[in-house]
Amino acid sequence: MHKHVTSWYSPHLNKEMPIATYGHFGAAILLIPTAAADFEEYERFHLISAISPYLETGKFKVYSIDSINKESWMNNEMQPEHKAIRQNQFNQYVFNEVIPYIKNSSSPDTFIFTCGASFGALHAMNLFLKRPDAINGCISMSGVYDLTEYTKGYWDDQVYFNSPFHYVPNLHDAWYMDKIKASHHIHIYTGSGAYEDPTANQKFSQVLWDRGIWHDLQIWGTDITHDWPTWRKMLPYILGAKF
């Protein structure tokens, strides 16, 4: 399988940010790491291998970026308001640097779908909902969509605006809503086993339905735990059955 790694100095994050690309062409899957991991995490845990048939046939091309969670919500040494600032800088990095890179390395018409597991699932959903004009949908696995699960009790406007569970009920701008509703690829998957949170997924699903936003919610069984074997099953299934 073709793999290409590059990096650039991000003006939004003020640091060098690597990105790995897998495959030659196809719709773009933008992978956001779990927790505090890096851009090659999905390869190390064999998720790239699990979806390799879709990459080798040119159905999809994967772009995998670094996380900044250890410089934000998972950094206990930072002031909470600074964590929120870093979150917003990450969003702008994706919107203004990563998405143009994907378009330039494929084509201006390439569809882009964010994808992540665990904390990456929240980021994937949040990025899509913020820029449905630039991102065509999302695949979120084993996530929660309430950012306060990670903020240790801290709350401000920037937590609100990065917490889909809180801001979606108040989205009334027709421009945003029409573009979100136009996506046929909002996929929310979780298990019911150890460390999964099916209730959180059901609650967020209801938030979306209350706003008339179609999505694909699946809650798998009690044998499906919050771990890599789950995501190595889920993502190939979604890519094969739902796209």
How much is the average pLDDT of 23-44?
95
How much is the average pLDDT of 195-211?
98
How much is the average pLDDT of 136-149?
97
Q: Whole-angstrom Cα distance, residue 234 to residue 125? A: 16
Is residue 1's pLDDT more than 90?
no
Q: Whole-angstrom Cα distance, residue 58 to residue 200? A: 35
CB atoms within 10 A of CB 225: 16
Q: Evaluate if pTM is beyond 0.75.
A: yes
Q: What pLDDT does 36 receive?
A: 82
Q: What pLDDT does 12 receive?
A: 98
Q: Whole-angstrom Cα distance, residue 124 to residue 32? A: 7
Confidence of residue 94 (pLDDT cuts 50, 70, 90): very high
How much is the average pLDDT of 45-57?
97
Percent of the chain whose pLDDT exceeds 90: 95
Q: What is the mean pLDDT of the chain?
A: 96
Q: What is the pLDDT of residues 213-229, one digit of tens each?
A: 999 999 999 999 999 99
How much is the average pLDDT of 171-192?
96
How much is the average pLDDT of 108-129?
97
Is residue 80's pLDDT more than 90?
no
Give me the residue spans of the domains in the chain: 3-241
Closest among 64, 56, 77 to 29, alpha carbons compared:
64
Percent of the chain whose pLDDT exceeds 70: 100
Q: What pLDDT does 237 receive?
A: 98
Residue 146, amino acid = D
Closest among 113, 91, 99 to 187, alpha carbons compared:
113
Could you tell me which CATH class the domain 3-241 is placed in? alpha beta
Is residue 113's pLDDT more than 90?
yes
Q: What pLDDT does 77 receive?
A: 87
Confidence of residue 133 (pLDDT cuts 50, 70, 90): very high
Q: What pLDDT does 192 receive?
A: 98
Task: Using the structure block, give the residue that is written with the tokens 């030659």.
Answer: 24
